[in-house]
Amino acid sequence: MNKPLPKPVFEGRQCLKDVLMKIVDRTVQKFGAEYTEVRAQRLFKTMLTLKEGRVEAAKQGIENGAALRVLVNGAWGFASVGALDFETLNEAISDACKMAKAASSRLKTPIKLIETKAIEDKVVAKPREDPSKISIEDKINTTSKMSNVILGFDNHVKSCTIDYLDLTGTNYFINNEGTYIEQDKLYVWSRITATATEADAFSFSREEIGSTSGYEIFNVETPEIVGERVAKRAVEQLKAKPPKGGTFPVILGTNVVGVFAHEAFGHLAEADLTLSGSVLLDKLGKKIASNVVTFYDDGTIDGAFGSFKYDDEGIPAQKTVLIKDGVVVGLMHNRETAQKLNAKPTGNARAEDFRVEPIIRMRNTFMEPKDYSFEELVEGIKAGYYLKSFRGGQANLDGTFQVGIQEAYEIVDGKLGEPVRNASISGNTLETLLKVDAVGKDFELWPGRCGKGQTAFTCDGGPHIRVKEVLVGGSA
């Protein structure tokens, strides 16, 4: 290389901790910050993309970086840099303080944080199969096998894309209140999509796999099981007919209940969005859903894709009740919204990486099961739909939701009928929650990714449920 680059100032973990402590101390002394935190990360990624079994590229990445956040005069300042040496961090924290001062010039209500206990901890990931120790060849073999299952399932299957990602590394969190947490990160994720065609019909099917436990997820979600699930749906959807548009009674599958809990309700209960004027703002303590509806957001489920021990403000993750027997009892908070609404912090502040600030995100969001069997749920419907699996969903602050469906069936006289394609459901979340009239006894959690300006790994799910009526958008 021509240009001499600066030598690393430190090596090893102990030294990084010293650097971080020094930075935090200086910020308080020199800039008079009310609050300072530094989140340093060392991350390692392996990624694969296979298209019809062809490995497009085997990819590996290394990232180091720090996110520095301060409160000065009641306003936030934030700086992100891709380095961990003292000089760079020192410059960045001074930047962050200048940013905060500039922002504070027009502040009406100064930002305050709820008080929390200082924590010192070290969280070590203990996977049975550590993805960082598995060879790329093995990962290519697993994904290739899945690809072969899909392409060999039926000659109508025309394409198959598999994305694979594993992320490992360590997060170092420190703040000026005495909290210092070293926490390993471990994620294994894959998205599998397939398309099938016949004459003029095109169908599309997708699944995701995601875990925080380790590569052993592929022992449960094996290439054979997942491959068949994806391929079978793509082929069956070719025979499906478009739904009739209009209002119908429906059974929502566990996967659709999950996206409903997450998209239609969950986002409204993220306290930053609640405070922005979501329809839940004046509903705390009030009944908004039928008695059989209980929703949780839980960061403590072992190995689930949305689980972690501490959030990105150093708050322990917990199981948070959002709706209990139809009554809104809680919201998801960071330290700022908890202070503002006089609530306990829930450990929902998450940042995708050191490039972005932590914001309120869901973890594993689900509905609690009750006592109906699937047959009992279907029996009650003369003409309606069973919406089994979703393609995507989106919500709005006024409570308008939309969920696109990738697998659905007619229900005729209490029995499942023909497959239906490209349905979607929409309505108002609060109106719909009141129309939930029966809840199943089964339960499934589904991994996914949520976008709110940055990506978070989450799970959502629940039992099968019956909704008295919902607007089904048909195809043209």
Partner 1 sequence: MVVLKQEEMLSLAEDAVRFALKKGADEAEAFLYQGLTTNVVIERGQIARSSRIIDRGLGIRAIINKAIGFSYTNVFESNVTIEKTVRKALGSAKASKPDENWHSLASRKPLASVEKTYDRRIVELRSEDLVKVASVMLDAAEKTDKRVFPIEGGAGASYLSVAVANSNGIANFDYGTIIECSLATIGQQGGEVTPVCFEFNTERSYNIDPKWIGKEAARLAASALKAKKIETKSTNVILAQSAFQDLLYFTLIDAVKADFVQRNQSAFKGRIGEKVASEIVTIYDDGLFSGGLRTWRFDGEGVPQQKTLIIEKGVLRNFIYDNYTAKKEGKESTGNAARAGYLSTPNVEATNFHFMPENKSPEELISEVDDGLLVYYLQGAHSSNPASGEFSVVATPAWKIKNGEIAYATKGAMLAGNIFQVLKNISVLANNERKIGQLVAPWILVENVKVIGK
Task: Write out the binding residues for partner 1, residues 325-364 only, by CB under 8 A.
Answer: 355, 357
Candidate ranges 53-61, 284-292, 318-326, 365-373; the one touching partner 1 (CB under 8 A): 53-61
Nearer to partner 1, 58 or 123 (CB): 58
Q: How far apart are CA 204 and CA 60, in angstroms?
A: 29
Q: Does 365 bind partner 1 (CB under 8 A)?
A: no
Count the Cβ atoms, other than its own, within 10 Å of residue 436. 21
12 binds partner 1 (CB under 8 A): no
Q: Is 163 in the site for partner 1 (CB under 8 A)?
A: no
Nearer to partner 1, 228 or 357 (CB): 357
Residue 369 CB, shortest distance to partner 1, in Å, is 26
Would you say 113 or 301 has its CB closer to partner 1?
113
The residues in 176-205 that bind partner 1, with binding defined as CB under 8 A, are 195, 197, 201-204
454 binds partner 1 (CB under 8 A): no
Among 325, 371, 398, 442, binds partner 1 (CB under 8 A): 398
Residues 59-118 that bind partner 1 (CB under 8 A): 59-65, 75-83, 85, 88, 91-92, 95-96, 98-100, 102-103, 105-109, 111
Residues touching partner 1, count (CB under 8 A): 100
Two tokens, residue 59: 């990819």
Tell me how crowded residue 200 is: count the other CB atoms within 10 A of its CB.
5
Q: Which is nearer to partner 1, 171 or 424 (CB)?
A: 424
Cβ at position 228, least distance to partner 1 in Å: 20
Question: By CB under 8 A, is residue 459 in contact with partner 1?
Answer: no
Among residues 278 and 294, whose Cβ is nearest to partner 1? 278
Quote the least distance from Cβ 312 to partner 1, whole Å: 15
CB of residue 373 to partner 1, shortest distance in Å: 29
Nearer to partner 1, 301 or 359 (CB): 359
Q: Applying CB under 8 A, does 379 fall inside the site for partner 1? A: no
- Contacting partner 1 within 212-271 (CB under 8 A): 245-247
Residues 13-42 that bind partner 1 (CB under 8 A): none
Which lies closer to partner 1 via its Cβ, residue 64 or residue 339? 64
473 near partner 1, rule: CB under 8 A: yes
We find the least distance from the C-beta atom of residue 319 to partner 1, in angstroms, to be 28
Write out the binding residues for partner 1, residues 123-142 only, by CB under 8 A. Answer: 135-137, 140
